[in-house]
Amino acid sequence: MEVTISTAELLTTDGVPLKQSLRKAERRNKLRAFLLVFPLLFFIVVTFVMPIGDMLLRSIDDSQINSVFPNTFKEYKNWDKAADELPPEEVYKSLFFELANGDKRQIGKALTRMNYAKSGWKSLIKKTTREIKKIVKKGEEPVSYKETFIKINKFWGDPTYWYSFNQMVNDRSSIYYWNAVDRTYSEDGDVVLQDERRRMYIKTWFRTFKVSVYVTIFCLILGFPVAHLLANLPLRYSNLLMIFVLLPFWTSLLVRTTAWIVMLQQNGVINGILVWLGIVSDEGRLQMVYNETGTLIAMTQILLPFMILPLYSVMRVIPKSHMRAAQNLGAKPAMAFWRVYLPQTIPGISAGGLLVFVLAIGYFITPELVGGKDGKLIGSWIAYHLKTTLNWGLCAALGGILLGIMLILYWLYNKIVGIDNIKLG
Amino acid sequence: MSKFLKAFLFVSLVFAPFAASAVTVASWGGAYTESQQKAYADTYSDPSSIVFENYNGGLGEVRAQVESGNVVWDLVDVLPSDAITGCDEGLFEDISSEIAELSTPGPDGESMLEDMENNGLEYHSGWDCCVPQIFWTYVVFYDPDAFPGEKPDSMADFFDTEKFPGKRGIHTWATGIIEKAMVADGVKPNAVPTVLANQTGAIDRAFEVLDRIKDDVVFWSAGSQPLELVKSGEVIMAIAYNGRVGAANLAEGENFEYIWEGQVLDQEYLCLTAGAPNRDAAIDFMMHASTPEAQAEQAKYITYGPMRASGIPIIENNEPWGPGGVDIMPHMPNTPERLAVSIVSDPQWWADYGAEIGERYAAWMGN
């Protein structure tokens, strides 16, 4: 016998088809669930998605300057650089009027932008604008705008200034990203290496990466035994040990950094002891701070708790009987550790490692203070451009690259270890 | 309505007018802001209406406030290159007519701006939005006990590691050092800004001089570090903010010597944020904080020099000017004799080339 069920005929007690009624109930549930998470969602969108989106937008945005000099840039694109040494008369003419009639503040903002493309634009345009306004006030119409500009300042006859327009003539450009890896645009708009004496970003990127990897490894080497002790000692000892871990963690970052300077400097505690012991001579005191070594040592100590705590919380729940069982079955202690204990701590190592690495790659204050000669990381440069040069486009590009690196690492990590393997306790 | 709410509403209604009329001044904090509090706010007609807040310099936060339309700081204490950029970009309000009308003239009837020019300064667009505060300098100092024999007394000595072997403490950014290197290379201090602006290859020259001490340098990045470096013997001499050295000498009983030759004078301004919530009160306070008397008063509490030339005679004629009967003039950076061997840093030039030189300096440090 064949049984057919026709859902269309199933009705609830109040005569509404069951399917419809179920859908309604489900919709209500969904709405309720959405309303519950809405505050969190709103919070994340406002404080996380929007700022990061805005930052990424800024890293490719050049619309402000394009709104100040639209005609100049349009004419500029018609300049045949192979044929003429200097841009055509129309470029000078457009610039003349855009400087004469433009809003002072908008021009001011554009100047800050222009100065990133080539140093010296700022005062050149300011001086020129003053002269142009005088000419306009007198009511004179220049015969040749080009000659007028060059008469005001000889730099207007210098094509290198004009070449730098290449970097700004489009609303959207990738110049900030190129700048962030020591590259710039040539006179023809090709991407070329920055002047050799100014190249420092690639070096800093590699250093940031290197320091972060080293700090993570050192933290693991130092943190693993400590976490193991914490998890296995009797409670009264482990509590005391925990305080030793947490006390520095609660101490101000600046205090800890300064303490390291006192310890490591050439007339500091460690060098003093080494000289007293006769290990190094008085003249041969070690340079351990104000360089990369100082950054490594101080950052490792400061980030250590971020490795110990996740490790500890994972190790605490590993039953001690596992190791005993392994040894009981014939494994030597080392083998039992390697094959039985270590694999169970992987979630803690992952969590700690990722935490330390993420914190280290964007670290700022400690490297700034103890980094000196060659221990500064990319974070210092983001701060520098944010505050001092106001080159927020470059800031955003540096931040964007940092974000990209993190996403790639996260993806790799997920491929190799699996993200659900992370455990904080 | 609960009692608590009522009480809250009442309190906020009573205090709201006060909260609204307080002029917020963002400044660098520490001993410097303390000296501003004592010299400017405490001597003001209504001291409680001025509230100082600390910030770390730069225009980043100002720009964020102005762009978002949520201006919290009425006044900001800035370096001259930031005064110029902020004024050009409209982050600070152009109050040149108010300054011309309301500022206190000098004793001989010279206007405030003329008074500043008498101190070796040149007009820049920051003057349209800001009033002067103090001269501070990058000065080289040392502990005389570290030099039993001949003592260094010039920039040439600072960059000569054969004559004076030992480490030098210098800062991790380029301003000030470039100028000092030019002096060590034989340029007359007063001519340094002109040479930097007009001579091609001047920067290369400066970096060649820097190369001489490259292997004997300890870099510092916070103002207190150079004093620690010299005190602990880590370096034999260092560049520092002169106010820090003055404080160590006056308050901590140190005996540091300055090398005034080749000191790089930099300026400090108080600027009105565009869209400041208490604009008029803020302007009134600006005018008070830029009188010669108020400027001289500040030297009592920190050894930075008044930016108005007429402030100096007030100190000179009333010595001992410092607290506890100490003379202040030995620590003032801008006496006429010292100005003659000093460089007045050119903020317009640094606004033009600062970013590029900053990167080049960093590349030099890391190599």
Intra-chain end-to-end CA distance of chain B, in Å: 69
Taking the C-alpha atoms of residue A172 and residue B120, their distance in angstroms, rounded to an integer, is: 44
Taking the C-alpha atoms of residue A382 and residue A395, their distance in angstroms, rounded to an integer, is: 5
Residue B18: pLDDT band (50, 70, 90) is very low
Residue A313 shares a structural domain with residue A212: yes
What is the model's pLDDT at position B17? 44
Residue A250 shares a structural domain with residue A384: yes
Q: Residue A42, exposed/middle/buried by CB under 10 A (0-12, 13-18, 19+)? A: exposed
What is the model's pLDDT at position B329? 86
* Two structure tokens written together for B159: 């960059």
Sequential DSSP letters for A370-425:
H-TTT---HHHHHHHIIIII--HHHHHHHHHHHHHHHHHHHHHHHHHT-GGG----
Residue A155 shares a structural domain with residue A259: no
Strands A191-193 and B168-171 come out as unpaired
Q: B63-108, pLDDT tens digit by residue? A: 999 988 889 999 999 999 899 989 988 999 999 888 888 888 888 8
Are A388 and B172 an interchain contact pair (Cβ–Cβ within 8 Å)?
no
A105: contact with B, CB 8 A cutoff: yes
Residue A54 shares a structural domain with residue A81: no
Task: State the ipTM, two decimals.
Answer: 0.78
Taking the C-alpha atoms of residue A107 and residue A122, their distance in angstroms, rounded to an integer, is: 10
> For residue A199, is it within any domain?
no
A389: contact with B, CB 8 A cutoff: yes
Nearest to A119 among B56, B58, B356 (CB): B356
Residue A213 shares a structural domain with residue A303: yes
Q: Pick from A43, A58, A73: which residue ends a domain?
A: A58
A362: contact with B, CB 8 A cutoff: no
Residue A221 shares a structural domain with residue A137: no
pTM for this entry: 0.82
What is the model's pLDDT at position B327? 83
Q: Name which of A201-210, A275-284, A295-304, B168-177 the model is least confident about.
A: A275-284
Its sign, for the CA torsion A238, A244, A246, A247, is positive
Where are the domains positioned within chain B?
3-135+266-332, 137-265+342-366
Residue A14 shares a structural domain with residue A122: no
Are B358 and A120 an interchain contact pair (Cβ–Cβ within 8 Å)?
no
Intra-chain end-to-end CA distance of chain A, in Å: 57
Q: B176-231, pLDDT tens digit by residue? A: 999 999 999 999 999 999 999 888 889 999 999 999 998 889 888 888 889 988 99
In 3-state terms, what secondary structure has residue A60? coil
A366: contact with B, CB 8 A cutoff: no
Residue A395: pLDDT over 50 = yes
Q: Please name the residue of chain A whose CA is at the shortest distance from the CA of residue B60.
A: A387
Q: Measuring CA to CA, which residue among B156, B201, B135, B118 is closest to residue B334? A: B135
Residue A23 shares a structural domain with residue A168: no
Residue A380 shares a structural domain with residue A264: yes
Taking the C-alpha atoms of residue A364 and residue A382, their distance in angstroms, rounded to an integer, is: 9
Q: Measuring CA to CA, which residue among A382, A212, A294 is closest to residue B219? A: A294
Are B352 and A119 an interchain contact pair (Cβ–Cβ within 8 Å)?
yes
In sequence order, the β-bridge partners of residue B266 are B136
Residue A220 shares a structural domain with residue A168: no
Rounded to an integer, the average pLDDT of A310-316 is 91
> For residue A183, is it within any domain?
no
Range of the domain at A221: 206-421
Rounded percentage of chain B residues whose pLDDT exceeds 70: 94
Q: What is the CATH number of the domain that holds A355?
A: 1.10.3720.10
Residue A43 shares a structural domain with residue A69: no
Pseudo-torsion of CA A333, A334, A338, A344, nearest 10°? 40
Q: A249-278, pLDDT tens digit by residue? A: 888 888 998 899 888 888 888 888 998 898
Is the peptide bond between B347 and the residue preceding it cis, with omega within 30 degrees of 0? Answer: no
Residue A69 shares a structural domain with residue A53: no
Contacts of A29 (CB under 8 A, 6+ apart): none
Taking the C-alpha atoms of residue A280 and residue A275, their distance in angstroms, rounded to an integer, is: 5
Domain B3-135+266-332 shares a fold with domain B137-265+342-366 = yes
Residue A3: pLDDT over 70 = no
Q: What are the C-alpha distances in Å from A20 to residues A7, A10, A24, A27, A28?
A: 11, 10, 6, 10, 12
Q: What is the mean pLDDT of chain B?
A: 87
Q: A26-71, pLDDT tens digit by residue? A: 899 999 999 999 999 999 999 999 999 998 999 999 888 888 898 8
In 3-state terms, what secondary structure has residue A267? coil
> For residue A332, is it within any domain?
yes
Q: Kindly provide the b/e burial profile for residues B83-112, where b requires at least 16 CB atoms within 10 angstroms of the residue's own CB.
A: bbbbbbbbbbbbbeebbeeebbebeeebeb
For the ranges A119-123, A134-138, A294-298, the maximum mean pLDDT occurs at A294-298
Cβ count near B46 (within 10 Å)? 13
Residue B56: pLDDT over 60 = yes
* Two structure tokens written together for B160: 């000569």
Nearest to A372 among B57, B218, B351 (CB): B218
Taking the C-alpha atoms of residue B152 and residue B155, their distance in angstroms, rounded to an integer, is: 8
A197: contact with B, CB 8 A cutoff: yes
The CATH number given to B137-265+342-366 is 3.40.190.10
* Two structure tokens written together for A101: 């009639």
What is the model's pLDDT at position B92? 94
Q: Pick from A58, A73, A98: which residue ends a domain?
A: A58
Taking the C-alpha atoms of residue B189 and residue B265, their distance in angstroms, rounded to an integer, is: 11
What is the DSSP secondary structure assignment for residue B77, as one 8-state letter? Answer: E
Total domains in chain A come to 3
What is the DSSP secondary structure assignment for residue B48, as one 8-state letter? Answer: G
Contacts of A174 (CB under 8 A, 6+ apart): A60
Taking the C-alpha atoms of residue A105 and residue A65, their distance in angstroms, rounded to an integer, is: 12
Containing H/E element for A43? helix A18-44
Are B219 and A372 an interchain contact pair (Cβ–Cβ within 8 Å)?
yes
Are B56 and A105 an interchain contact pair (Cβ–Cβ within 8 Å)?
no
Question: Which residues of chain A does B225 touch, with a Cβ-Cβ cutoff of 8 Å?
Answer: 261
Q: Which CATH class is domain B3-135+266-332?
A: alpha beta
Are A387 and B355 an interchain contact pair (Cβ–Cβ within 8 Å)?
no
Residue A8: pLDDT band (50, 70, 90) is low
